[in-house]
Amino acid sequence: MKSITKERFLEIRHQTEHICKSLKPEDVSIQPAEFVSPPKWHLAHTTWFFEQFVLSKYQVDYKVFNEDFSYYFNSYYNNVGKRVMKAERGSMTRPALQEILNYRTYVNKQLAAFISKDISKEISDVIEIGLQHEQQHQELLIYDIKYIFGNQPSFPVLDYKVQLQAEHQLQEFLKIEEGVYDIGHDEDSFCFDNELGRHKVYLHDYEISNVLVTNSEYIQFIDAGGYSDFNLWHAEGWDFVQNNNLKAPLYWYNVDGKWMHYTLNGFVEVNGDLPVSHISFYEAFAFAQWKNMRLPTEFEWEVASRQFNYGQLWEWTNSAYSAYPNFTKEDGALGEYNGKFMVNQMVLRGASVATANNHSRSTYRNFFHANLRWQFSGIRLVK
C-alpha cells in the first residue's frame, strides 16, 4: 500500500484545484440538477472530510476553521450530524469561493504538518481513505462541471483536457471458459470495503468484446428506431425514455441531420470511431438487446478484464450493487461510506478518462442508479 506522505497529500489536494483552474466565480455555485453538486461544494466537502475525520479527532487542540462548515459540507454522514440536503447545495452563495479556498489552505497546512509526525496505522488508514475519497470527488467534479457547461448555450471549454480515444482494434469476442473463479480484492494495496469478501463464483462459458461500442454503432441503433421500440427496453427504462423524450445519449443534438455533441473541448461533430459515452443502464441494456447480445455481469467483467484494455469509460454491468459474502462495515460514520447504498443501483466496472491517476483496478466496484447518464459511462457486449 502507498505510504502517507506530505508530498502525496498535497499533490492530490492541489489536483482538485487544478481541475477548477479555468472556472469563473459564476460557475462554482450553480446546481442545474439534483444529482449535480456545485464545484465550490466539492472543494469544501473534501476539505471537511479531513478536518472531521482526522484533524478534529486526532490533532490535539485543533481549532476548526468554521463551526458551521460541518452543517454546510457534510454529504450523507448521519453519524456526524445534520446537513444541507443535496438538492439545496446550489442555493448557497455563501460562504464565498475565496473563503472556501482559504479553508483548503488552512486544512492543508494543518494536515501536512500532522502527517510529518509519527502517526499510527489507524490514523494513516483514515488519511488514505480521505485521499481516495478526494480522488473520487475529482472525477465527480469533472462530471458536474461538464453538466453545468453542457447546459450553457455558449458550451464553454474547460482548460483541463478529458479526451476519449478511438480503440483502433478489430472487434473480437474473447472466449472465457466455464469454471469457478475468485472474485474480489486480495492484494496488499488499498481497496474500498465493497471490494472485500473475496469469494468464488461459477461462470458459464461466455464471449466478451475486446472493445467498447462506438458512436457509429450507436447511431445505427438510433437510426433503426431503437428509442421507439418498446420491445428492447425494461418497463422502467421505457418509461424513462418516454417521460424524458430521449432520442440519443446525453449531450447529443441533431443539427441539420448531423449528430453533434458537447464535450469539455467544445461543441463538435460526433466522431463515429470513439466509444459512445454518457449512456444510462437502460440505454446500454436496450442496445445490447438490439444486437441480440447482453451486458456482462460484474463477475464476468472482472474475470475477463485481464484480456482487454479498460479505463476510457465506466462500463455498465448487469449486476445489482449488493454486498459480497462476509462483507462488513465499520462502526460509525465511515461505515456509511458504501454499505448503505447497496440498493436500487447497478455496478459499473473499469475506470474512465476522468478517473484520477492510480485510482483504478479490476476489482473496483462503481455504482449508480440505472437512469443516470452524466457520468462517463459506456457499453461492452457479451454473447
Question: What are 47-104's pLDDT values in tens digits?
Answer: 999 999 999 999 999 999 999 999 999 998 888 899 999 999 999 999 999 999 999 9
Residue 99: how many CB atoms within 10 A of its CB? 15
CB 309: neighbour CB atoms within 10 A? 12
**Residue 52: all three cell numbers together:** 472531521
Model-level pTM? 0.96
How much is the pLDDT for 170?
Answer: 95
**CA gap 94, 41 in Å, rounded:** 11
Please give the full DSSP string across 324-380, using - where no structure is assigned. Answer: PTT----SSGGGGSSGGG-SS-EEEEE--TTSPTT---TT--EEE-TT--SS-EE--
Mean pLDDT of 201-224: 98
Nearest 5°: the CA angle 180, 184, 187 is: 115
Mean pLDDT of the chain: 96
pLDDT at 120: 94
CA neighbor of 380 nearest in space, from 287, 299, 303: 287
Model confidence at 297, in pLDDT bands (50, 70, 90)? Answer: very high
**Contacts (Cβ under 8 Å, ≥6 apart) of 109:** none
pLDDT tens digits along 323-382: 999 888 877 767 767 778 889 999 999 999 999 999 999 999 999 999 999 999 999 999
CB 275 within 8 A of CB 164: yes
Residue 256 has what DSSP assignment? T
Amino acid at 69: F
C-alpha cell at 282: 437502460
pLDDT at 305: 98
pLDDT given for residue 266 in this prediction = 94
CB proximity list for 25: less than 8 A, separation 6 or greater: 97
Tell me: pLDDT of 150 over 90: yes
Report whether pLDDT(169) > 80. yes
Radius of gyration, alpha carbons of the chain: 21
Nearest CA to 71 among 82, 86, 80, 63?
82
Amino acid at 120: S
pLDDT of residue 1: 59
pLDDT at residue 258 tops 80: yes
The per-residue pLDDT for range 97-138, each reduced to its tens digit, is 999 999 999 999 999 999 998 899 999 999 999 999 999 999
Q: Which residue matches cell numbers 479490476? A: 362
Helix 39-50 × helix 121-150 angle, to 10° = 180
Q: What pLDDT is stored for residue 330 in this prediction?
A: 79
Q: Which residues contact 67 (CB under 8 A, 6 or more apart)?
A: none
Q: Give the whole-angstrom CA distance, residue 117 versus residue 119.
A: 6
Other C-beta atoms closer than 10 Å to the C-beta of 238 total 17
Per-residue pLDDT for 14 more than 90?
yes
User: Residue 266: which H helix or E strand, with range?
Assistant: strand 266-269
Which residue type occupies 346?
M
The predicted structure's pLDDT at residue 341: 87
**Cβ contacts of 50-54, under 8 Å, gap ≥ 24:** 50/107, 50/111, 50/127, 50/130, 51/107, 52/77, 52/80, 52/333, 53/126, 53/129, 53/130, 53/333, 53/334, 54/111, 54/114, 54/123, 54/126, 54/127, 54/130
- pLDDT at 21 exceeding the cut of 90: yes
**CA contacts within 13 A on the Cβ side of 312:** 19
By the 8 A CB rule, do 101 and 43 touch?
A: yes
Mean pLDDT of 149-156: 95
